[in-house]
Chain A
Amino acid sequence: MLRFIVRRMLQMLLALFALSVLLFAWLRSLPGGAVSALLGERGSPEAAAELRAQLGLDQPLPVQYWSFLERAAQGDFGISNGVYIGQPAMDVFLSRLPATVELSFFAIVIALTVAIPLGYIAARRRGSLLDTSSVISSLIGVAVPIFFLAYVLKYLFAVRWGILPPSGRQTAGIDATHITNFYVLDGILTREWDAAWDAFQHLILPAFALASIPFAVIFRITRASVLEVLEEDYVRTAAAKGLRAHTIRWRHVMRNALIPVVTMIGLQIGALLAGAVLTEKVFAFQGIGQALAIGFERRDYPVLQVLIMMAALIYIVVNLLVDIAYAIIDPRVRTR
């Protein structure tokens, strides 16, 4: 087990190294070169010369790469020139991370609580109306552009019927104390229940829109996996031994069928991060996704640089953790 973890850690380091090279190459290939991309429109000749010296652009490439790594290790990714003009790019990421984590968490919870039971029931009643209709709707779910779905939800529930707030994370002017910047959690911790409820209402629409991506995938993998496990000999044996249906369902079927589902959840984090860019833009939800969307629009490369880097980092680390969790659940993985 320890060997497995050490090996995965080494692989992660390799991926991080490759990621830094890619990011370095990306920055060098930006329109007008790195200097004008990083300075944006504020660039005076003096500032450009200073940045050029700071980046060491007159140095050979390996030296440039090394100084890029040094600055990255110190969290110095430059100053925002589009999203939050004048703020360090790293601060933009840190101040906006909790919002996206909160949103993704709710989206995953929604997807799991609907997709897993539905996948199980669909597999047990294979070919039934429920099965067919949920398979078809999961296929349609894949075909709908997520930002369009987000707009439709916003139009119906916020604009047309006015049940839920159309945008933002919390109603402006509400009396709320922020400790962790997870607004729902803040409201609970400070016992400002109305603030927590308000933040929760703001989360519902974006979370449902974002949940559509993992929902379709998790539903289909659960269904396929349960179908496969139901045909296993040990399930038939358990039934032949006269075990109660409840015991078979949980101890034999679900326990084995959920293994591939766990593996899928880690992978979906990547899709969630990209989906958050689109969803947060629709709902003006102030997370890293919206910062990325604005960054792309205004070509704020310092902010884009840090956000892409951190998003890939989060994806890599989450997948490392899922790999380890997977090895704990399923010992067969370790020997592979």
Chain B
Amino acid sequence: MTDRESASLGQRKKARIDRLAAAGRISEDEGVSLWQSAWRRLRTDPIFLVGATIVVLFVLLALVAPWIAPHDPTARLLIDQINRQANPIPDPQPGHPLGGDDAGRDMLSRLLVGSQQTLIVGVMATLFGLTGGLTLGTLAGGIGRWVDAAVMRVVDVMLSIPSLLMAFSIAAVFARPNQWTVILAIAIIQVPIFARLLRGSMLAQRHSDHVLAARALGVRPAAIVFRHMLPNAIGPVIVQATLVLAVAIIDAAALSFLGLGNPDDSVPEWGQMLGRAQQYFNTEPQLAFYPALCIIVVALGFTLMGESLREALDPKSRR
């Protein structure tokens, strides 16, 4: 890292991201590609297998949830049993194994169907953050010179604000929060991380032999960036995206907890269910416990997958 590049602050946050970027570099001394050798390691890595199993099950659940949910998640089937003083939450009973929520809706159905919206929030926030970060990172790492300097200044300033606090502040700008403002707030704080990560790993490609060869052959600059640099630099970004999926789901819960989430609960989402359960926590903890358990398991799944992916893509850890 040169002096100019590391200007501004959050020195160590950047160093950490750059280290991740370095981890994805191709090991040229091996006969197989990075992804092939990574896959060989992952196939037998129990941590990856556990993480991947959780993630696959979660995605499958989100796809089939409406068909396997025993009840309509929006129908107030148990509303008659709710009594504000004595019994604010319907108890578990035949047909409703997990009981109901504070509006008399079936808890199990809400959890099952909630996987859909939870997946959408996680994937969309990651996708938007990724798109923004890829654009900035490709500009900075592909073109270089003053574009690089300008883009990195912006990125550094964004990194100098505590990121979750920035998400809270962005969400607070909207008078009427909804699912998209939540996604946007979470996506924006991921942009500088993705941008810095991609730029770092693209810079590492700039002077590699295959890029020099392409340049010597007279390949157009745009083609060099998109066909020769980007595909080889994308590894660490994919690792980070996997980890961000976990963070996005947790952050959505935090936003809901602060009243900055989606106030419309007709479409259930785990983070929202958890955030809104706070008023009952000391009396009816199960209302928070079920969605929290779902979030923890799924976030753990993405984290395990991301961590093992990172290790497999890091040539240094291959001893």
Contacts and interface: CB of A to CB of B under 8 A. Distances in A.
Interface of A: 8, 11-12, 14-15, 18-19, 22, 26, 29-32, 139-140, 142-148, 151, 154-155, 159, 263-264, 266-267, 269-271, 273-275, 277-278, 281, 292-293, 296-297, 299, 304, 308, 311-312, 315-316, 319-320, 322-323, 326, 336
A263 B15 contact: yes
B229 interface: no
A311 B160 CA distance: 11
B174 A31 contact: yes
Nearest to A323: B11
Contacts of B169: 26, 304, 308
Given A11-B8, A144-B296, A270 B162 contact: yes
A75 to B, nearest CB: 20
Contact of A148 (B6, B156, B172, B288): B288
Contacts of B172: 30, 296, 299, 304
Contacts of B210: none
Given A29-B173, A143-B303, A316 B168 contact: no
Interface string B262-285: 000000000000100010011001
A145 B7 CA distance: 33
A144 B304 CA distance: 14
Interface in B157-178: 157, 160-165, 168-169, 172-175
Contacts of A144: 292, 296
Q: Is the interface of B mostly helix, strand, loop or mixed?
A: helix
Nearest to A149: B292
Contact of A145 (B153, B156, B175, B274): B274
Given A267-B16, A304-B172, A19 B161 contact: yes
Contacts of B160: 15, 18-19, 312, 315-316, 319
B233 interface: no
B95 to A, nearest CB: 28
B167 to A, nearest CB: 8
Given A142-B303, A315-B160, A316-B160, A297 B10 contact: no
A31 B12 contact: no
B60 interface: no
Contacts of A12: 9
A151 B172 CA distance: 24
B307 A139 contact: yes
Given A274-B164, A277-B165, A267 B13 contact: yes
A15 B253 contact: no
A159 B284 CA distance: 12
12 contacts: A26-B173, A143-B295, A147-B278, A151-B285, A263-B12, A266-B12, A267-B13, A278-B258, A281-B257, A296-B259, A311-B165, A326-B11
B296 A143 contact: yes
B198 to A, nearest CB: 20
Q: Please provide the 5 A-B residue pairs with the shortest distance between their CB atoms, ordered closest to farther.
A: A31-B175, A270-B162, A274-B164, A143-B299, A263-B12
Contacts of B217: none
B250 interface: yes
Given A267-B16, A270-B162, A274-B168, A316 B254 contact: no
Contact of B12 (A277, A299, A322): A322
B3 A15 contact: no
Contacts of A11: 7-9
B97 to A, nearest CB: 22
Given A147-B254, A147-B257, A315 B162 contact: yes
Q: Give chain B's interface residue range (CB within 8 Å of chain A).
A: 35 or more
A30 B173 CA distance: 5
Contacts of B259: 296-297
A151 B281 contact: yes
B303 to A, nearest CB: 6
A61 to B, nearest CB: 18
Interface string B240-261: 0000001000100110011110
Contacts of B278: 147, 151
A22 B172 CA distance: 14
Contact of B254 (A22, A145, A326, A336): A145
B300 interface: yes
Nearest to A158: B282
Contacts of B32: none
Contacts of B7: 11, 14
A267 B11 CA distance: 9
A149 to B, nearest CB: 9
A169 to B, nearest CB: 19
B86 interface: no
Nearest to B19: A260
A315 B53 CA distance: 39
A59 B210 CA distance: 56
B19 to A, nearest CB: 9
Contacts of A278: 254, 257-258
B309 to A, nearest CB: 14
Interface string B54-80: 000000000000000000000000000
B1 interface: yes
Nearest to B275: A147
Contact of A31 (B8, B173, B285, B300): B173
Given A15-B9, A270-B165, 17 more contacts: A11-B8, A18-B153, A22-B157, A26-B169, A26-B173, A30-B173, A31-B174, A31-B175, A143-B250, A145-B254, A147-B254, A278-B254, A292-B168, A293-B258, A297-B259, A312-B162, A323-B9
Contacts of A266: 12
A140 to B, nearest CB: 6
